[in-house]
Every structure is written in structure tokens, then in C-alpha cells.
């Protein structure tokens, strides 16, 4: 009974503790965009249009790479941006709602990709890259809404530079996330992905371990196994303790019984045989190895 209760308790405990995510932040992907918008705009100190400025990422998001470029909407549409890190933006991209100047924000989420854009059943082989657009009217503004980019004349291409080794036989897929975090998959052609909108992009492969069981579930399955083992050990120890208690109790009961018996025997003078040794009566057990003797016997 103790064992099962311990198991049940441990399971409940594990379920409760599994609910808090591992990284120490409850920032969602869209609030992360807001934070990164703020930080990327800070790179602009007397900015020139059409120049890409690298920005410092927040100290609690080390590893994330940021860059920003300010442009006139007219020239953006007319010329595009041939090279903005991994992105290449063709001519004919419209901006909605209309703004005179816009800021293009580049994000490389590096090792935060998996956390902010979890994809059960897939492994990232590239970091999640973001391309977002904002109004450039006020460069100290925060919580700006995103602008809608639409490529009318050919798509925006993304050449992933540092792809991790893709496992053999697994086709790499391009994944893109819209502003609500909805994922769309397309086949990747030579490490290049295409989009006609702003958003977040990466390359993934199907999880090797077990395609039908997503990584997160697997992890919790593993920890469930761990808890079962811990539970069994603890339960086993408790059971052992109970057993030891029981044995001790039995023993002490037996001892008490013996003492009681001896006491009883003492009263009736039955249990111990008294033997006459010389002139003295001495108690002996039936199988005493050396009979008690008195020195006076030798003398006599």
C-alpha cells in the first residue's frame, strides 16, 4: 500500500513540476519580437538609409544576433535589398500600411530557436531567422506594430549559411512562421528557402529518434521513467523498513515472551534444574559441558 501511494505522489509531483518551462523566462515569441525591435532600433545613431547596422542583443538573450536597416519605402520597392544577411529581397515588395520610411529588422535566434518556435517531431538544422518591418518615423518608439510585406515580383530568398549536418535520407524542409506562430512547411532547394511575406524562417528535418513521438513528449516520458525508478527504490526502501520493523517487533515479542516464561519458571522453580554440587545447589542446564565443582571437593 505504501509503495503505490509513494508512486502516485511522485507522479503528481512530476506532473506539477513539468509544467514550468526550462528557460527562465515567460516571454512569448511575439513579445520577444517587441523586445528585439526595441534593441535593434537602438543601433540607429544618426543612421544613413540603406546601411545595415548590427545591434546589441539584450543581455538576458545572449547569442541572438540583431541588425537593422532604414529605408525609404519608395526605393525599397524599386530596388529591393540585394543582400541583408541571409535574405535577398527582390524589387516589387510592397509595405502595408503605407509608411514613408521603414526599418527592416533582422533576427538570428541562434540557440533560442527551439524554445521560442518549438516544432514537435522536427529538429532544427539552422537557426530561426526573422525578417520584420516597422515604421521608421520614431526611432525610439517601442511596441510598434509589424508592417505587412508582400513580394509581388518574385519571392524573398533566404540562403542558410551554416546548416548543421543533415542526417542522410532525411529531406530538409523549409519552415516559416507567421505572426501568430503558425508553421508552414515547404521542400528546401539547395539550403535556400523562399517567402513572399515577413516572418520567421528556418530549416528542419524530421526527428531521427522517433518520428511519431515528438521530442518534448519523449523527454517527459524519460523523466516519467526516472520517477518510476525513483518511486520503486523509495517504495522498496519503505517496504524494507516495514519488514525490518516487523522482524524486530517479532523478536522483541519473542524475547518478552521468553522473559515472561522465565519469570513464570522462576516462580514455580521448574525450568532450571538444580543440581547438587557438593553441599551447594547450583543451577545447570541439561547439557552443561563442565559440571560445576567446588574446590572443597578436591580438598576433601
Ligand X SMILES: *[C@@H]1O[C@H](CO)[C@@H](O)[C@H](O)[C@H]1NC(C)=O
Give the binding site for ligand X (CB under 6 A): 23-27, 31, 35, 58, 60, 62-63, 91-92, 111-112, 115, 138, 140-142, 153-154
Please identify, using beta-carbon distances, which residue of 31 and 184 lies nearer to ligand X: 31
Query: 64 or 205, CB closer to ligand X?
Result: 64
CB of 46 to ligand X, least distance (A): 16
Q: Which is nearer to ligand X, 154 or 214 (CB)?
A: 154
Q: Least distance to ligand X from the beta carbon of 190, Å?
A: 20
94 versus 275: smaller Cβ distance to ligand X: 94
- Which CB sits closer to ligand X, 114 or 284? 114
Minimum CB separation from ligand X for residue 240, in Å? 41
- CB closer to ligand X out of 49 and 62: 62
Q: How far is the CB of 203 from ligand X (least distance, A)?
A: 19
Distance CA 190, CA 160 (A): 9
Cβ closest to ligand X, residue 63 vs residue 278: 63
User: How large is the angle between the packed helices 2-17 and 215-268, nearest 10 degrees?
Assistant: 150
What's the closest the beta carbon of residue 238 comes to ligand X, in angstroms? 36
Looking up cell 505572426 gives 179
Q: How far is the CB of 178 from ligand X (least distance, A)?
A: 20
CB of 87 to ligand X, least distance (A): 16
State the SS3 of the chain: CHHHHHHHHHHHHHHHHCCCCCCCCCCCHHHHHHHHHHHHHCCCCCCCCCCEEEECCCHHHCCCEEEEEEEEHHHHHHHCEEEECCEEECCCEEEECCCCEEEEEEEECHHHHHHHCCCCCEEECCCCEEEEEEECCCCCCCCCCCCEEEECCCCEEEECCCCCCCCCCCCCEEEEECCCCCEEEEECECCEEEECCCEEEEEEEECCCCCCCCHHHHHHHHHHHHHHHHHHHHHHHHHHHHHHHHHHHHHHHHHHHHHHHHHHHHHHCCCCEEEEECCEEEEECCCCCCCCCCHHHHHC
Q: Per the structure block, which three cell numbers stand in for 57?
A: 542583443
Amino acid at each position: 500500500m505504501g509503495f503505490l501511494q509513494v508512486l502516485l505522489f511522485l507522479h503528481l509531483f512530476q506532473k506539477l513540476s513539468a509544467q514550468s518551462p526550462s528557460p527562465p523566462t515567460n516571454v512569448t515569441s511575439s513579445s520577444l519580437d517587441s523586445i528585439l525591435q526595441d534593441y535593434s532600433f537602438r543601433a540607429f545613431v544618426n543612421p544613413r538609409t540603406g546601411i545595415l547596422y548590427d545591434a546589441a542583443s539584450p543581455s538576458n538573450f545572449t547569442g541572438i544576433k540583431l541588425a537593422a536597416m532604414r529605408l525609404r519605402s519608395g526605393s525599397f520597392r524599386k530596388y529591393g535589398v540585394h543582400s541583408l544577411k541571409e535574405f535577398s529581397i527582390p524589387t516589387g515588395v510592397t509595405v502595408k500600411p503605407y509608411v514613408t520610411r521603414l526599418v527592416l529588422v533582422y533576427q538570428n535566434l541562434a540557440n533560442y530557436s527551439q524554445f521560442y518556435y518549438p516544432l514537435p517531431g522536427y529538429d532544427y538544422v539552422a537557426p530561426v531567422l526573422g525578417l520584420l518591418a516597422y515604421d521608421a518615423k520614431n526611432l525610439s518608439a517601442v511596441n510598434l506594430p509589424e508592417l505587412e510585406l508582400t513580394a509581388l515580383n518574385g519571392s524573398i530568398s533566404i540562403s542558410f549559411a551554416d546548416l548543421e549536418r543533415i542526417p542522410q535520407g532525411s529531406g530538409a524542409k523549409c519552415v516559416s512562421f507567421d505572426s501568430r506562430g503558425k508553421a508552414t512547411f515547404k521542400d528546401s532547394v539547395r539550403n535556400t528557402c523562399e517567402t513572399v511575406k515577413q516572418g520567421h524562417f528556418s530549416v528542419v528535418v524530421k526527428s531521427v529518434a522517433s518520428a511519431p513521438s515528438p521530442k518534448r513528449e519523449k523527454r517527459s516520458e524519460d523523466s516519467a521513467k526516472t520517477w518510476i525508478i525513483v518511486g520503486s527504490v523509495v517504495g522498496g526502501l519503505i517496504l524494507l523498513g516495514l519488514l525490518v520493523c516487523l522482524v524486530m517487533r517479532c523478536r522483541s515479542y519473542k524475547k518478552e515472551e521468553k522473559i515472561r516464561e522465565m519469570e513464570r519458571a522462576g516462580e514455580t522453580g521448574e525450568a532450571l534444574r538444580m543440581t547438587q554440587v557438593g553441599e551447594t545447589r547450583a543451577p545447570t542446564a541439561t547439557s552443561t559441558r563442565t559440571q560445576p565443582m567446588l574446590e572443597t571437593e578436591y580438598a576433601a
